[in-house]
Amino acid sequence: MVMSQNLLTEVESKELLKKAGIPVVEAKLARSKKEAIAISREMGFPVVLKISSTDVVHKSDSGGVKLGLANAAQVGKSYSQIISSVKQAYPEARIDGVSVQTMAPPGVEVIVGMSKDAQFGPVLMFGLGGILVEVLKDVSFRIVPVTERDAREMIKEIKGYPVLQGYRGQKPASIPALEQLIVKVSQFVEKNPQIKELDLNPIFAYPDKAVAVDARIILE
Ligand code: ADP
Ligand code: MG
């Protein structure tokens, strides 16, 4: 847990991103089990439940994420499990409730991040999600503003680029959709200098679109 006053929740982060035209799987805050079930029914199953707390940066580390919930009973049970396991891991955390979102079909997992360099200011990072980023550091960087052409280069220069073109029966990822997403993130951070850090991790990329399933914004 990082006690970070400046961390926006996933719900808040996704609201800002959506307004900026960046595609996200929208998340709604539920403050009770009853509310979580009502929102799930409205959204349609299967859904995903996640802890909502500005004190919890990595939600799944503390049992704060439950995927693929198929009915109201599973949502109710998961709500309680999430609250109790996060309370156990972080007794001090202030918990808003649990966010609800639809379960996105599998896609190629990629990440886009922004951090600020002392010399160059905002810098965007692009990479493939999971082990490729964490272990192999297979990522590319460009200084903001990032043009469409820069974005295309960022995508093509990672070693894992062939993965985006599809492999072992996995469908390819839309390169134009990823370019658009990167350019929009660049415009978003340019217009909002109060953003210190941004993480879209992961984004699910499909043959026709790319959608962020998790988002984290840290303000200055
Ligand atoms: P964390 O704070 O731990 O990064 P995430 O929101 O990224 O939590 O969720 C953990 C993992 O669960 C993601 O890497 C992704 O694989 C999966 N996941 C999260 N949200 C969704 C969703 N809406 N649909 C499908 N899979 C999801
Ligand atoms: Mg994540």
Cα(68) to centroid of ligand 1, in Å? Answer: 11
Q: Whose CA is nearest to atom 10 of ligand 1?
A: 60
In sequence order, the β-bridge partners of residue 141 are 125
In the structure encoding, which two tokens stand for residue 142, read together? 């460009």
Q: Encode pLDDT of 208-217 as tens digits.
A: 999 999 999 9
Q: Which atom of ligand 1 is nearest to the CA of 50?
A: 6
26-102 has CATH 3.30.1490.20 classification: yes
Rounded CA gap, 209 and 178, in Å?
8
Residue 132 confidence (pLDDT)? 66
Q: Whose CA is nearest to atom 20 of ligand 1?
A: 213
Q: What are phi and psi of 68, to 5 degrees?
A: 65, 40
121: phi > 0 → left, psi -120 to 50 → alpha, else beta; which?
left
Looking at 131-220, list the stretches that DSSP marks H as alpha helix, in order from N- to C-terminal side. Answer: 131-134, 148-157, 161-164, 175-191
Q: Encode pLDDT of 156-190 as tens digits.
A: 999 999 999 998 888 999 999 999 999 999 999 99
Q: Encode pLDDT of 115-153 as tens digits.
A: 999 999 999 999 998 766 677 788 999 999 999 999 999
Cα(118) to centroid of ligand 1, in Å? Answer: 31
- CATH, domain range 108-219: 3.30.470.20
Residue 192 confidence (pLDDT)? 98
Cα(214) to centroid of ligand 2, in Å? Answer: 5
Ranges in the chain annotated CATH 3.30.470.20: 108-219
Average pLDDT of the chain, as a whole number = 95
Contact 114, 195 (CB under 8 A): yes
By most ligand atoms within 8 Å of CB, the mutation choice from 1, 60, 61 for ligand 1 is 60
Nearest to 12 by CA among 52, 61, 55, 60: 52
Q: What's the distance, CA 50 to chain centroid?
A: 12
Residue 38 confidence (pLDDT)? 98
The predicted model gives 87-108 an average pLDDT of 97
Angle between helices 33-43 and 72-89 (to 10 degrees): 130
- For 51-86, b where at least 16 C-beta lie within 10 A, e where not — what string? bbbbbbeebeebbbbbeebeeeebbbebbeebbeeb
Ranges in the chain annotated CATH 3.30.1490.20: 26-102
In the structure encoding, which two tokens stand for residue 19, read together? 């307004």
pTM: 0.95
Q: Whose CA is nearest to atom 16 of ligand 1?
A: 202
- The yes-or-no verdict on residue 3 having pLDDT over 80 is no
Could you give the angle at the alpha carbon of 215 between the alpha carbons of 137 and 93, nearest 5°?
A: 105
Rounded CA gap, 124 and 116, in Å?
9
Residue 167 confidence (pLDDT)? 80
